[in-house]
Amino acid sequence: MNYKIGVIPGDGIGPEIVKEARRVLDTAAEKYGFSLEYTELLMGGASIDVHGIPLTDETIAEAKTKDAVLMGSIGGDAKTSPWYQLPPEKRPEAGLLKLRKSLNLFANLRPAYLYEELKAACPLRDEIIGDGFDMLIMRELTGGLYFGARRTVVENGVREATDTLVYNENEIRRIAIKGFDIARKRRKKVCSVDKANVLDSSRLWRSVVEDVAKDYPDVELSHMLVDNCAMQLVKNPAQFDVILTENMFGDILSDEASMVTGSIGMLSSASLNETKFGLYEPSHGSAPDIAGQNIANPIATILSAAMLLRYSLDQDAAADAIEAAVRQVLKDGYRTVDIMSEGCTQVGTEEMGARIAERIR
């Protein structure tokens, strides 16, 4: 079986970490009897440098012909990069928003898992960590505040900005179905997070989620207000299995969850549409200050590649092998600088990728 994979190396450390993810993917493909055909695509700052815009229609069309897309990080230093002298709609991040919308990538999956070997890097106390935690944040990705109508005006000499938060029941229902389906494959618990005590959009969210839950009697549904959820993530993270929430809340909560794992460099991400197509990327940024130094942690991108195998290609055994290889490398004491601890061996980006690939073989 041959699969066609679009690759967006991106900006900053993006090309370095994507290179290692491809190394690991190729090793898994060789072992499990399938092949991967890569096509490089430009987006973000790299696209601005060539085309003057962060994402071209040609790139979108090319991405649609692939089975999945693997992406590094995009963007640069907002203070020094010329990309951020451009209007907002022409900056690197605008390309990502356009790609998500164009490919209908409405479901964002962000796992937050605490490895036993990285407990020392977790900022929470041992009595809070307990036996660790394993949660998945399911974030609606193409609606809500980030995609609503917006404007900035000056009235009577006073600047005023408006952003509009809009959801319809169909948008909520499809993300809820994804959340419940994935919960069935995990521990069968969904915590729907909203702000139903204040927002009409959240009251609609809660109502639709409850309707969907009727079709999943085997999955336990609970509701939590977003401010309480933010507190519970640092008070008792082990209580969560699947957190289902809207776009802005999910953006904030998934970053919080990533930090209680000890390093955002460990967090993978998948964005799916209604087919098996997905965009897979690390949760962290492009870290331009360390680009080209061979010190970036490639594990988040490598784990995103494992998600690509699992969710888009149905190559579960290969995905399992990658995840097991990551665990084994950590157990063997190898660390990049961001997760380094006493008694371990510090390695660079390339060596970390190579050691993970070795353990797949």
Task: Find the largest Cα–Cα distance for the chain.
Answer: 68
Residue 169 structure tokens: 């029941």
**Tokens 């969560």, residue located:** 240
pLDDT at 131: 85
Question: What phi and psi, each to the nearest 5 degrees, are found at residue 91?
Answer: -85, 165
* Residue 98 DSSP SS3: helix
Query: Could you list the active site residues?
Result: 146, 195, 227, 251, 255
**Which residues touch 224 (CB under 8 Å, ≥6 apart)?**
191, 192, 193, 232
CA–CA distance, 352 with 20 (Å, rounded to integer): 8
End-to-end CA gap in the chain = 19
Strand 242-245 relative to strand 2-8: parallel, antiparallel, unpaired?
unpaired
CA–CA distance, 134 with 238 (Å, rounded to integer): 7
**Which residues touch 335 (CB under 8 Å, ≥6 apart)?**
341, 344, 345, 346, 347
pLDDT at 283: 85
For the chain, residues with pLDDT lower than 50 are: none
CA-based nearest residue to 24, from 344, 284, 280, 272 = 280
pLDDT at 156: 96
Q: Where are the alpha helices (DSSP H) in the chain?
A: 14-32, 45-51, 57-63, 92-102, 126-129, 169-184, 200-213, 226-235, 247-260, 299-311, 316-331, 349-360
pLDDT at 122: 84
H/E segment holding residue 4? strand 2-8
pLDDT at 264: 76
Percent of the chain whose pLDDT exceeds 90 = 85
pLDDT at 9: 97
